[in-house]
Amino acid sequence: MRREITEHGTETLEADKLTFEKLAEKYKETKLIKAQYSNGVKVSGRRSLGSAKSQLKALLSYFGDKKIRLIKVSDLEKYKHKRLNTPTSRGTFLKIATVNRELELLRAMLNFAIQNEWLIRNPFLLAKGLISKAAEVERDRVFSFDEEERLLTACVGRRAHLRPLIICALDTAMRRGEIFKMVWNDVNFVSGEIHIPQTNAKTEKSRTVGMTPRLIAELQKLWNQSPKDKSELVLGLTHSVKTSWKTACQMASIVNFRLHDCRHTATTRMIASGSPHTEVMKITGHSQLKTFLRYLNITPETARGVASRLNEYLAKKKVGVDTDISKLVN
């Protein structure tokens, strides 16, 4: 402390008194701001602030007036334990992924404090394994063709707006935000493509996806009914579809299916159709194979197909297997 005061003067004394609440204010003013762009490239801020603000609220309720220099590894561990044992309004408990995102924000905030010389060392350096991605439960829900047919059948009347949304998600693997932000200028009916600008893409890299005939037909209907303004939203959705989605799923007797699961389903179907992983990754916008594989789920049909092809391979090598695998199954 004496050495710090000699080198930095009263700044050290002020930093020593800095509470988490004050750090949160400074971080919010600097980092949790609306995204700023230069020539279409994000140079600062965040495109979405909702999740971060919710995470910050949880951190503030726990660390509040605690001085940041007094935050130890044990405090991080106690926070994680408390949050994992906090019941939600639905009577369940917070998922490990939710708590991990909160801890990641806390780590970023403490690094921000170090950059501004308010903190010497981040306690997360000594908290190995505190944020464990391996412990997160990854969804592997894939839509069956029968479920798809039932859900689309339910998308009529007050739920008709869900039909083009679902078909677009299933046939392009586009993210929810990318679909909602899509404007008519992004749609090319001549080439059969949709352009996703970098300002709309999660990875901040533009890409182009192809349209299936049924998607073209759905979007053509919307275009014919629209004011023909190229800057207008294609789906015209400016609000949440949670209520209509829930109702449609109930009417179709479909459980445990979210809109984002359409992206998993689309990715799985593209690979099952024979498209190479590298090409599908370009369509989905994944740059890391590890992340991409999280969206690639094995369906019963795929599993049986793998077994069948292995059986054919073994038969060619004369290992002594029955070439008619259907007899073994039946």
Q: Give how far Cα 130 sits from Cα of 100, 101, 119, 146, Å.
A: 8, 12, 20, 42
Residue 7 has pLDDT above 70, yes or no: no
> Which pLDDT band holds residue 55 (cuts at 50, 70, 90)?
very high
Helix (H) or strand (E) holding 31: none
Residue 330, pLDDT > 60, answer: no
**pTM for the model:** 0.70
Residue 291's pLDDT is: 73
Q: Which residue has the tokens 């404007």?
A: 183
Residue 273 or 138, more confident: 273
Query: What's the pLDDT tens digit per position in 185-210?
Result: 999 999 999 999 988 888 788 899 99
pLDDT band for position 58 (cuts 50, 70, 90): very high
- Residue 110, pLDDT > 80, answer yes
Give the residue-averaged pLDDT of 33-39.
Answer: 78
Strand partners, 38: 41
> What structural domains does the chain harbor?
2-135 (1.10.150.130), 145-297 (1.10.443.10)
Q: What percent of the chain has pLDDT over 70?
A: 88
* Pairing state between β 187-188 and 207-210: unpaired
User: Once rounded to an integer, what is the mean pLDDT over residues 288-301?
Assistant: 72
- Mean pLDDT across the stretch 135-164? 90
Q: Specify the pLDDT at position 324.
A: 55
Name the more confident of 291 and 325.
Answer: 291
- Of residues 292 and 259, the one with the higher pLDDT is 259
Interacting residues of 59 by C-beta distance below 8 A, sequence separation 6+: 20, 24, 79, 102, 105, 106, 109
Amino acid at 330: N
The better pLDDT of the pair 275, 19 is held by 19
